[in-house]
Chain A
Amino acid sequence: MTKIFLGIATAALMTAALGAQEPAQKPAPAAAAAPAGNIETGKKLWVSVGCWQCHGYEGQGGAAGPRLSARNLPFAGFSAYVRRPTNQMPPYTEKVVPNADLAHIFAYLQSRPAPPQTVPALLK
């Protein structure tokens, strides 16, 4: 079962690389500095280029990749990491995901809703 342990450890490392973990989310101030992107286009790209595979369809994260939804994520850091990741994530060069597409993807991520304000009964 080492794989799960390592998966979580990897997720933790990637989380550290992307910034401190925060539970619920406020709008990212850095998002204002991001290039304009289309949420719907970003949603399609999120699936077609494979971001969902590690981070989930909603960017909620999982064993293979950290949560990216509902968190303060500066576009500059996001872009730099996607282009030249330092851990297990495969690189997405500009050749395969142009900057404009990356902006759409970022817009989709920023649009992901925060979790419910009240803790669902099942989790209490």
Chain B
Amino acid sequence: MKKSVDRRDFLKGAAVTGAAALVPDAMAAQAPSPATPAPAAQGPRAGAAPTPARELDPGLDPESLVLDRSGGDFMVDVLKSLNIEYVASNPGSSFRGIHESIINYGGNKMPEFITCLHEESSVAMAHGYFKVEGKPMAVLAHGTVGLQHASMAIYNAYCDRVPVYILAGNSLDATMRRPGVEWAHSVQDAAAMVRDYTKWDDNPYSLPHFAESAVRAYKIAMTPPMSPVVIVLDGGLQEDPIQPEVASKLRVPRLTTATPPQGDAGAVAAAAQLLVNAQNPVIVADRLARTPAGIAKLVELAEALQAPVIDQHGRMNFPSKHPLNQTENGGPLIAGADVILGLELTDFWGTVNAFRDSLHRSSRSRIRTGTKLISITSVDLATKSNFQDFQRYPEVDVAMAADAEATLPQLTEAVRKLVTADRTTAFQARRTRLEQAHARGREAARNEAMHAWDASPISTARMAAEIWAQIKTEDWSLVSESGNSSGWVFRLWDFDKHYQHLGDSGGAGVGYGAPAAVGAALANKKYGRISVNIQGDGDMLYAPGVLWTAAHHKIPLLTVMHNNRGYHQEVMHIQRMANRHQRGITNWHIGTMIDNPNVDFAKIAQGMGVYAEGPITNPNDLGPAIQRALAIVKKGEPALVDVVTQPR
């Protein structure tokens, strides 16, 4: 019988702390006290890779039935070193080894196992979590059926430039698979099915290989443009004992995250010159602010130029009350601009062109001839072919393949150096005009919100105003907003912190809203923030089981249903087709509406252990209902209010 290898042997020294020291906010690896070794447990029943033929290992004691340490334990140590706080997962046999290591060896802490009822929920939770916390959350899934369930959510995260740390279970050694299901749950190349919309993947052959790939995956995922990554975990590697010759080689490589790429100095200077000389410069931001500092950096640039900012809301980019926030006046400003700076835009072409979805599809430029376009986006550094999320090709004058947030200080400094006294005078005049326009925009929004104020179904403006009245004095975070409520939150609420708005799904894959909200709320929990989710009904019905996850893990989250009882975008598409064909224009409801019977979301939530009220149809009942639900949230639990709403 081989001598057992104490875990201290393979964890000691800098092996683990080396990585942790460079992970932001790293916690030191906290391996629990070693369990009492099981007397006869130590002999590896088979060689963990690199011993290929596990059943033929001459060192195997065929009578041994237990062991005290496995490859999964080491994998947990690596995850701890990376400061992974949670792992979201629907349990599966292909990763039972690491699952058990997480909850027993790892003490179910760093990472903590979050029970999910669908892999799409797991990934979307990690998606929402990152946008609050700024670091990846892990997901465990079957390499076959799990990744397939997860794939839509992975695509959303990819399009939204969000890192998700995916660990996929698999059983490579065909001779060791259990007959039946394990064969159906095994695959030669698990990551292949999601390779088009992940940045990197690997299939480690040994534990040292796992350690290196795990750290590499983290680094790649966190380098802009950020993206999901996949590490495939072989079942044998997770479950088999760690052999002495392997244990002696185990260490966790040092993690040094890459500094985000900054714009070329010459291009920055050219951009600054264009912006300073412009009569009507406009700044447009989409997925710009990837850290809390992003907002302040954009404010500095905007104020250096006294230029208007249009926020496309891919992230929380610019304070809504700032007088240079001209999002309400976006159309006319774009039309009148002589220089437009696009910061991490998803669709620069769509920003400066109008497209008409009619029988004869057509487009027209929305900008003046000669308007100079400047683009800064890290997406230019990594574009794939198959999935077409890269949008139409924009013809710009200055293109910086760089991270916009990292480039802003350099650009602001270059602008300041070029500003003369004459330009300062012109900038101040521009500022005065923009302040007036901002005030008019806020006033106009308020006036518009008053229309249909007392209507039933309840207007989306009224819903936004009722929520705002209850949360505005709290430390709040709008963790998701699905179903399109006409942007009323941006028009009526005051946003000024990075976690107050997290953008959208990225890929417009329905089913993101509810789980992303729960994941973001999980991140907000330790800060005591009130997480609010405005939740589309169609989106909720993709995987409502995430409400159970919120209840089970006591994740405080106020969900307000924007329940227009349909897939409203599709309602409008069918109407468009029927009108085009001049037939059946009253049949828009077929295949698009979610009514007859109406879904009772309060009952669904209650059945999952979540406090819930509704359906609410009288606008005067809404405020008190939100108030009651908020009281539950403040106690640390989720609550839901079902509001029957106008379409948008």
Contact = CB atoms under 8 A, between A and B. Distances in A.
B648 A64 contact: yes
Given A53-B568, A93-B582, A96-B583, A60 B351 contact: no
Nearest to A120: B453
Interface stretch (A32-40, A73-81, A83-91, A102-110): A83-91
B455 interface: yes
Interface of A: 1-10, 12-13, 21, 23-24, 48-50, 52-54, 56-58, 60-64, 67, 69-70, 87-88, 90-93, 95-97, 115-116, 119-120, 122-123
B586 interface: yes
Contacts of A7: 484, 486-487
A63 B648 contact: yes
Contacts, number: 152
Contacts of B461: 60
Nearest to A6: B350
Given A62-B460, A96-B582, A122 B468 contact: yes
Contact of A50 (B350, B449, B504, B588): B588
Given A2-B346, A5-B310, A24-B447, A62 B648 contact: yes
Contact of A119 (B358, B446, B484): B446
Q: What 9 pairs between A and B have smallest CB-CB spacing? A: A115-B450, A90-B579, A60-B452, A62-B648, A1-B313, A58-B452, A60-B451, A62-B486, A23-B447
A123 B446 contact: yes
B262 interface: no
B330 A8 contact: yes
Nearest to B580: A90
A97 B454 CA distance: 29
B568 A122 contact: no
A56 B647 contact: yes
A90 B575 CA distance: 8
B451 A21 contact: no
Contact of A4 (B457, B484, B492): B484
B600 interface: no
Given A2-B345, A120-B450, 4 more contacts: A1-B286, A10-B354, A57-B646, A119-B446
Contacts of B648: 54, 56, 62-64
B452 A95 contact: no
11 contacts: A6-B350, A7-B484, A8-B328, A8-B330, A53-B568, A56-B459, A57-B452, A60-B448, A60-B459, A95-B582, A122-B469
Nearest to A51: B575
Contacts of A49: 585-586
Given A1-B314, A123-B450, A64 B572 contact: yes
A23 B459 CA distance: 17
Contacts of B503: 1
A122 B465 contact: yes
Contacts of B351: 2, 5
Given A2-B347, A96-B583, A116-B453, A9 B331 contact: yes
Interface in B347-370: 347, 350-351, 354, 356-358
Nearest to B391: A2
A9 B358 CA distance: 17
Contact of A60 (B334, B357, B646): B646
A57 B457 contact: yes
A115 B571 contact: no
A2 B579 contact: no
Contacts of A21: 444
Contacts of B444: 21, 23
B353 to A, nearest CB: 10
Contacts of B448: 23, 60-61, 67
A41 to B, nearest CB: 14
Contacts of B623: 122
B451 A67 contact: yes
Nearest to A71: B451
B450 A119 contact: yes
B466 interface: yes
Contact of B579 (A69, A87, A91): A91
Contacts of A115: 447, 450-451, 453
B219 to A, nearest CB: 28
A9 B447 contact: no
Nearest to A54: B572
A45 B129 CA distance: 45
Contacts of A62: 460, 486, 646-648
Contacts of B286: 1-2
Given A5-B310, A88-B356, A116 B580 contact: no
